[in-house]
Chains A and B, each alone.
Chain A
Amino acid sequence: MTRHSRTLLLKALRLPLRETLLLSLLVVFTTVALGSNLAQVALAQQATTHSQTAAAGRAQIDVQAIAGGGLNRNQMAAVIGSPLIADKSPLYEKSSFAIAATNPQASVPITLVGETGGAVALRPLTLAQGHLPISCQQAVISASLLPVLAAHQLKATSLLLPGSSGLFRVSVSGLVAMTQTGVSAPPGAVYLPTACLQKSFYLGLHTLLIAGRLVPGENFKATAAALMAKTGNGVVISSPRAGTAATAPYQIFGLITGASLLFGVMVTMATTALLLGRRRDVLETLTLSGVSRNALRLASLELATRFSGAGVITGAVLLIPVDSASGTPLLTALATILESAALVFLASTLTGTLASLPLQKSPLADRSEAQWRGAPWIGAAGILLTIAGLSAVKGGTASSQLPGAMAVLIGTTLAVAAVVPYLSHPRLESARWLTQLLALRSVWLRPRRTMMSLALVMISVSTTVAVTSLTASELAAATSWVHELFPGEAIVVSPVPEPLALASALQGASGVASTTSISLFTAATDGRLTPFMATSPSHFAPGLAVQPMAGSPPQSLALLSTPSTAVVPEQLAAANNWKKGQEVLAEGPNGKQIPLKVIGIVAHTFPGGAGQPSIIVSTATAQKLGAPPVFSDIAVRCATGSCISSSTRVAARYGWALFTQTQLTSAIQALVGEDMGKLAIAPIILLLATVIAIFAVNWNNAQDQRHDFSLLRTVGLTRSGLASLIWWQSVLVSGLGGILALGAGVLLSAVFIEVASTPALELPLAIPFSVLLPVLALALAAVGTALVPSQVLSRESISTALNRS
């Protein structure tokens, strides 16, 4: 094909400017919808940071910096040695997290895999709780982890672990003191059923779990990014108190991105097919005029490419300020835009090829669009689908009822749609019925146009419904996570200089089941005994967290309730030649000195790991020293609702801030609310695209029928009659498409949520009233946008329309 002939072909195939602009708008909005996900991801990151800060309620953020599996030793060392982590403690850097369990669900004795000099020995484990069944959502942990977790304010009842799809939450079902007689469990070891490793984890060799603290501030993102870069394998930063919200948006937005891509591809295919369909007559004429099929194919492809390319470029340009405002990195934005553009281009090219093939083979004699012969089959399929759906709803399980209901909805729609044209014929009796019938006939007997319109409406609306539902599910999940992470707790936020006093005061309050005072003092590293690490004796399980190395009973930390006593680690005692029962002189930060009696020597303390200098004293003893708490707070577990008001009174007495669970939830949501609001960008953009799509459908359908409309006016149809006819067509297409799309959207939501949900991240299927918004918008758009073509075309000169047609 010469350049000249190609130009002529393209000119022959060219659509009017107005229609080209309209169709291009679809691709523009599609591209914007695709790229806006970048903004959403950036916003999700901001929301996560806010969530962490809010939930932590303090200047520092608890961090579980978890490097995924596959790290080599150097990478592990990089993380451990990173100065970015202010206060770190490697929990585990051994070679395996695995636990062998023949049947995780069965109540059988658990056999642990221990390591002894490279040899693997299998030993039956005897737990304090007896034989413990564990599932994939459960784990047993080394007892040495308990003080580590407590010191970092991490919940001892659940852990976040790295999995193949993000963080994986397990509840701690038991503690393990030893795996072999006389051999302690590896520090920080977490034991999981083997089956779970295959399912959800890539924990394996060289998996590293670090608990530590990052100072967030302004450098939080840079710090996290640097840590990620250093490991080269991704580091998940998560505050346990902020919940797993950090992981949720990424999974959800991944799905949204996928849905948007699907939407974009489908819209592009539909518009390209529509574009070429509008030039079917020209293609046929050119074919009959002797233009080769290959030339036509090339011309069609080039036309589709130009059309979609212009839309993609425009959409990409529109995205730049969006991404810039959301803080998305430029390179990431460009990469994703290019990816979207490539997909749209591919879709349009593919459609151009497919659409041009039958057209090239089509003689003029094949132009007629005969009555849709498949109607009876569709009707029969609809009836069968309805029956199957009713059966599923009536006798099925809960999980089958929703698909069943959708099957009934879709089946009924199909059945009704199939039989209505036959039933309506006797109603050809009045002007009003006539316009309705003419609209129905037009929709029914032009299946290609109708199906394309339905597809566009369905894609638009169902995607919007699904995205709206997903957003609602995310919000619902965020709320439930907060509730789950703070079960029945009232959190007193620092400063709490007298946690023990508060604990005692609250302990006596009505409805308070228990209080836990948590005070942490870092240990000196220069051999001096200040500042101290103080903790409540009730916090540790006797005999587990502190292992006496020698001496006679009593060995419990309850001894610390005796004033001026201390427990010291073995290494510190050896270095100073301290013995049990010996008195040592301790000095507080303000120079005050008191004698402390060593009542126990421990093998493991925190922070710093076993053998490092740190001392555990009671809070009362610490107060004697005037040691300021580095951080203190208190968790109150309420037995009844009145606990909250009691706690409030006590907190007020001491002048401390106290948040109830509800308040905390509200506080978190208030902080992240703004960002969550921004997360609604996707549904809003898709909604806008839906309205545009419906307008385009109505406009192009009306334009396609200009000739028919002018004929109808010639034989007596008035302007108002024509407007009525166009309106009814819009209602039929949009209404049917809307009903089908609502069902498809709900199904799509259910599928997305089912796929997105993991044991650690359970999303509820939320179908809020906001889902009705797209449907309402559809109804308004169907009516509103139908008015435009009806008014424009009804005022058009009949003669002009006839001549133009």
Chain B
Amino acid sequence: MADTTTPSFTLACAGLEKSFSISHTPHQVLSSISLQVTKGEFIAVMGASGSGKSTLLHILGGLEPPDKGQVLLMGEDLYAMPEERRTAFRTQHAGFIFQSYNLIPTLTAAENVALPILLQATGRANRKNRQASSAAAFARAAELMEQLNLKGLQGHHPDNISGGEQQKIAIARALAPNPELVIADEPTGNLDWNASQEVMKLLSSLHQEQQRTIVMATHEAAAAAFAQTVFVMRDGRLLEKIQLTHENGADKARQHLLSQLAQLGL
């Protein structure tokens, strides 16, 4: 078992097991998963549909407890915490991006972005502090949306915004609490080529310019090629770990990844 106690890892897991019951029949989704993600690392998890990518990300992000194993986020055992504390902790340290954007349809774009910050506020603070934190949350949302060229969409509801823009709002929402870790589950799965490239460049810039740690699940080699490390999953197991270098450009990295995948028969 890997050493998961080293604090230099932003995220680490060891011995993860997970199964679901489908029509009263147990299905093993994850088996003996162990990995470490250092601070500022960009990793991608690749695999076919049903290989367990999303489940792994949900467990790593504190959304789904494993049957067995341990997950350390910023050195803290995530599933040893009570639910309320785990929720606050993961919201503070991890932001989620989903394939289907998953914006709250009844809130405006700005409110969606500000929501994680507002949810961190407790009801115990006095009115003045609440107003201050509320103002700060919306200021942060405005700042992020401006950075992502979404300024004009602040008052729009998600239903009236294009898919690419919705995903950028989802990224802004994930960044709102300023987390060290960003977990992206098929972030380009619903986007066309141009929008996919735009989103991936945005994630890449977050990694390179802001030193964010990014864990991304994808089945697209073009998207995975933006990562430093690619884990290949099959039938709930980590099949291969592929290191990518971007010193020779994105195309070279993508070609290298494709060749490695071809060798694995993928």
Interface residues, chain A, with chain B CB atoms under 8 Å away:
367-371, 428-434, 438, 441-442, 444-446, 707-708, 711-721, 797-800, 802-803
Contacts and interface: CB of A to CB of B under 8 A. Distances in A.
B91 A798 contact: no
Nearest to A705: B106
B266 interface: no
Between A713, A716, A717, the greatest number of chain B beta carbons within 10 A of the residue's beta carbon is seen for A716
Given A371-B157, A428-B134, A798 B119 contact: no
A445 B131 CA distance: 25
A210 to B, nearest CB: 71
Contact of A716 (B83, B111, B119): B119
A280 to B, nearest CB: 15
A431 B122 CA distance: 6
Given A428-B111, A714-B96, A370 B159 contact: yes
A443 to B, nearest CB: 9
A707 B111 CA distance: 18
Contacts of A712: 104, 115, 119
Contact of A441 (B83, B87, B107, B120): B107
A714 B122 contact: no
B108 to A, nearest CB: 10
Contacts of A711: 102-104
A798 B64 contact: yes
11 contacts: A368-B160, A428-B118, A429-B127, A429-B133, A430-B118, A711-B102, A715-B96, A715-B173, A798-B63, A800-B64, A803-B54
Between A368, A441, A711, A803, the greatest number of chain B beta carbons within 10 A of the residue's beta carbon is seen for A711
A255 B11 CA distance: 70
Given A429-B134, A430-B130, A708-B104, A719 B83 contact: yes
A720 B84 contact: yes
Contacts of B103: 711
Contacts of B122: 430-431
Interface string B110-139: 010011101111110101001101100000
Given A446-B106, A708-B104, A797-B64, A717 B119 contact: yes
A442 B59 CA distance: 29
Contact of B125 (A430, A799, A800): A430
B240 to A, nearest CB: 25
Contact of A718 (B83, B104, B107): B83
Interface in B67-99: 83-84, 87-88, 91, 96, 98
Chain B residues touching A, range: 35 or more
Given A708-B106, A798-B63, 4 more contacts: A368-B160, A370-B160, A430-B121, A799-B63
Given A446-B106, A711-B104, A719 B118 contact: no
A799 B105 contact: no
Contact of A799 (B64, B107, B120): B64
A720 B122 CA distance: 12
A716 B120 contact: yes
A434 to B, nearest CB: 5
Q: Is the interface of A mostly helix, strand, loop or mixed?
A: helix
B107 A719 contact: no
Contact of B159 (A368, A429, A433, A800): A368
B122 to A, nearest CB: 6
B10 to A, nearest CB: 19
B256 interface: no
B159 A716 contact: no
A716 B119 CA distance: 6
Contacts of B114: 428
B119 A434 contact: yes
B88 A434 contact: no
A17 B148 CA distance: 45
B176 to A, nearest CB: 9
Given A430-B125, A432-B123, A715 B106 contact: no
A716 B91 contact: yes
Contacts of A428: 111, 114, 118, 134
A446 B111 CA distance: 17
9 tightest CB-CB pairs across the interface, nearest first?
A368-B159, A716-B91, A799-B64, A429-B134, A716-B119, A799-B58, A429-B130, A432-B123, A441-B106
A113 B237 CA distance: 106
Nearest to B18: A799
B55 interface: yes
B111 A718 contact: no
Contact of B118 (A434, A444, A803): A434
Contact of B119 (A442, A444, A721, A802): A721
Given A797-B64, A798-B63, A714 B102 contact: yes
B207 to A, nearest CB: 21
Between A371, A430, A707, the greatest number of chain B beta carbons within 10 A of the residue's beta carbon is seen for A430
Contact of A442 (B106, B159, B173, B177): B106
B180 to A, nearest CB: 16
A802 B97 CA distance: 13
A798 B91 CA distance: 14
A497 to B, nearest CB: 83
A430 B123 contact: yes
A115 B55 CA distance: 99
Contacts of B125: 430
A370 to B, nearest CB: 7
Between A429, A433, A707, A712, the greatest number of chain B beta carbons within 10 A of the residue's beta carbon is seen for A429
Given A371-B157, A797-B64, A798-B64, A718 B102 contact: no
